[in-house]
Each structure stands twice: as C-alpha cells, then as structure tokens.
Structure 1
Amino acid sequence: MSTAGSKVLVVGATGAVGGALAGVLHGRGARCAVAGRDAGRLAERARGWGGCPARVFDAYDMDGCAALAGWAREALSGLDAVVTAVGTVAFGRSEDTSDEVLEHLVAVNALAPIAVLRAALPLLPEGGAVAAVTGVVAERPMPGAADYSASKAALSAWLTAVRREQRRRGVHVLDARLPHMDTGFADRAVAGSPPPMPPGADLDAAVRAVVDALASGAAVVRPGTDGGLVTEARER
C-alpha cells in the first residue's frame, strides 16, 4: 500500500502513539480520518492535519466503534487502511486485581479495536490493510500486569487468525508489538502503580517503523535483540 494518497482511519488519535501515527501518515501524504476520546484535543489535532475528518468515540460503545470505518469511508470517499492505537493499563498482582478492572482492560484493549477492525474488513479493497498497536506484552507477558498482558494478547491472537483468513483477499493485517515508551501511558493506569521501568524506546522511531510496516504489508513489528524494532513479513 502506497502511503501517499492513501485513505486511512486512525482510531485513538488523541493518544500519544495514535496521534504520532496520524501525524506521520499525514506528513507522508495520506488522507486521514481520525477518531479519539477527547473532543477538544481531537479537534485541535485534526486542524493540524489539514482539517481532516474527526469523530469522537467511546471504547465502551461497541456499535460506535463498529461504525467508525463506514463513517471514514464516506468522509474520505474511500478507505485503504485502518489503524487502531487505543489502550489502557493496570498494574498489580493477579490475586489483587478485581474483575471490574479486568473487564475494563478487555473492553478497551481487545473488544473495542476488534469491533473497529472487524467492521472495516469488508470495506477494504485488495491491497488494503488493518493494523493495531498491541505491545510487547502480547508475546512476553509482564509479571505484575497479568490482566493487562492477557488483554493485549487476546487482540494479538485475533490479528494472527484474521491475517490467515484475509490472505486470499489480499488484505494485510499488522500487529505492532511496541515496547515501553515514555509517553506517560503507564502513569495513567486505571489500577495500581507501575514498577520501575527501563528507559523508554523512541516514540518517533517506533511510529515510523509502524507506518513503514503498514506500507509494506508486513505482519509484525516487534523489538529486536539490539533494542531497535524489527519488521517481519509473516508471523513466526
């Protein structure tokens, strides 16, 4: 998928990662439609991205999540790709984590992005793409964040299965398993406090890697052994 001239929906555009993704896509010539939770921030960012179409959504509203792709296709007169970068985190030992916290994590980290992407799949042409930011915890679950890790792993597993389903249609499915970054995300946990964290990865480099992977039709972006990010054409 060529980035320049492509029509892309970015969901979670008021967050640090989603906003950076939309900014890079816009900078590379994509026509974006953006969705986010914070109405004021969304409007401000949309103005900076050429006055692109913008829509407020709630991750707990599954019907609203499912409606985003259709809205974006109408607003952009077409749709080539959908990227989700929504999420929330909680910390604490598993026996100390409530069912309510788990329900919240699964709703925001798995059910909402799945609803967005599921509705987008039949709207995309051959060569189109869907992508989601999961996190390295999807493959390396983190002690002290078992429920958070499980919610991200659920989304990652869904992406892996859907990638195989969509192969004949030629729709690419990207799983962005990004490492910890100093975006303040961990400090906004819905429960618990973050443990000591290693230095965060570079946000700009991570976002560029995701956009490059989206354009190339890659399957996975993940941390490499040298501390950087690697892109894989297919799932291991």
Structure 2
Amino acid sequence: MELTEARILVAGATGALGGAITAQLAGRGARVALAGRDPSRLARAARAHPGVPAIPFDAYVPESCARAVRDASAALGGLDAVVVAFGAVAFGTADEVGDEVAEHLTAVNHLAPAAFFRAALGVLRPGSAIAAVTGAVAERPQPAMADYSASKAALRAWLDAVRRETRRTGVRVLEIRPGHLDTGFAHRPVAGTVPPLPQGGDPRHVAAAVADALETEAELVTTSPDGTPVVERRAR
C-alpha cells in the first residue's frame, strides 16, 4: 500500500502506541482519522494533527465502533485501512478475576475490534488493509493473565480466519503482536495489580514497523528477544 494520501482510521489513537502509529502514518503522507474513547484525550491527540477528523467511540458498544468507521469513511471520502490499537488489561489468577472483568476484557479486546473490522470490510477496496494489536500473550498465554491472554488469543484467531476469507477480495490483514512495550498500559489494569515486568520496548519502533508492514503488505509484526521489531511477510 502506498501510504501517501492513504486514508487510514486509527482507533485508539489517544494511547501511546496508537499515537505513535498515527504519527508514523501521518509522517509518511497518510490522511488519518483518529478515534478514541476519552473526549479530552481525543481532543489533545487531534491538536497534534490539525484538521484531522476526531471521532469518539465506546468499545463496550459495538454499534459505536461501526459508526466510527462510517464517520471516518465519510470524512475522508473512503478508507484504505483501519488500524485498531486499543485494549484493556487485568491481572490475577483465574479464580481471582471475576466474570464481569472477563466479560469486559472479551468485549474490549475481541468484540470491539471485530465490530470495527466488520464495518470496514463493507467499505474497503482491494489493496486495503485492516490491522490490530494482539500482543505476545496471544501466542504465549501468561499466568495471572489468563483472561487477558484469552481475549487477545480470540482476536488473533479471528484475524487468522478473516485473513483467509479476504484473500479473494484483496483486503490484507495485519496482526501486530509485539512483546511488552513501555506505554504505561500495564499500569492501568481494570482489575488486579501489575506483576514485575521486564523493561518494555519503545512503542515508536513498533509503530515504524507497522507503517513498514502496511507499505509492504506484510501480515505480521512481532518483536525479537532483544526487543527489535520484526516485519514478517506471512503470519504464523
């Protein structure tokens, strides 16, 4: 995908990783639309990119996710990619995390991205892309993070299946599966207390890899053991 003048919606643009992805895409000439939950943070993110559409949504309300896609498409005159970079995390053993928290994680980490993408698949053309952040836990579930890991693994499975479905339509599916990043995300859990974590990677490096992956129509972004982002042509 040629990023110059590409019309891209970034959902979760108010976060550290989403903001870094937005900056990378805009820096390469893309026309971006921002979507976020918190109005004040969304307004602050929009000030960094004057004139861009800024669209609120509630990840717990699937229709608002679909509406954000429609609003972004109307504002930009169409869409060439939708990138989802939001989520929620919780910590605690399986018997400590309640059903309400588990339901919240599933809604925010799996069902909301799926709602964005279901709406996007109705407007994207061949050569367009959808992209979502899953994380290393989607591949390697961690203790004291069972429900969080499961919600991200569900999104990974959904993306894998949709990737096969959309090969006939020419819409690309990119999974962003980095290791722990220094975004502050883990320190804002919806439940539990963050355990000791290794030094996080720089989200700006992952954001650059995401932009590279969109440009080269790659299917997966991971990070190596030393934290270096890796762009892979085919997902595995």
* Identical counterparts, % of pairs: 57
| CA displacement at 1:129 relative to structure 2 | 0.3
- CA deviation profile, 1:32-59 (whole Å, cap 9, x unmatched): 1111011112112212213200111111
Count of residue correspondences: 236
Corresponding residue of 1:66: 66
- 2:42 is equivalent to residue 31 of structure 1: no
The ranges of structure 1 where at least 4 consecutive aligned residues each deviate by more than 4 angstroms after the TM superposition are none
| CA displacement at 1:184 relative to structure 2 | 1.1
CA–CA distance in 2 between the matches of 1:94 and 1:40? 34
CA–CA distance in 2 between the matches of 1:196 and 1:88? 18
Gapped regions of structure 1 (runs ≥ 5): none
**Secondary structure, aligned partner of 1:45:** helix
Q: Give the alignment's TM-score, normalised by structure 2.
A: 0.97
Gapped regions of structure 2 (runs ≥ 5): none
CA–CA distance in 2 between the matches of 1:196 and 1:154? 25
CA–CA distance in 2 between the matches of 1:187 and 1:48? 25
CA–CA distance in 1 between the matches of 2:48 and 2:19? 11
CA–CA distance in 2 between the matches of 1:9 and 1:18? 11
Corresponding residue of 2:185: 185
**Secondary structure, aligned partner of 2:175:** strand
CA–CA distance in 1 between the matches of 2:168 and 2:207? 28
**Secondary structure, aligned partner of 2:95:** helix
CA–CA distance in 1 between the matches of 2:230 and 2:121? 26
Q: Is the 8 A contact 2:7 2:79 kept in 1?
A: yes
Corresponding residue of 1:10: 10
- 2:132 is equivalent to residue 132 of structure 1: yes
Q: Give the alignment's TM-score, normalised by structure 1.
A: 0.97
CA–CA distance in 2 between the matches of 1:222 and 1:175? 9
Q: Is the 8 A contact 2:177 2:223 kept in 1?
A: yes
Q: Is the 8 A contact 2:126 2:171 kept in 1?
A: yes
Give the aligned CA root-mean-square deviation in angstroms.
1.0
CA–CA distance in 1 between the matches of 2:63 and 2:45? 25
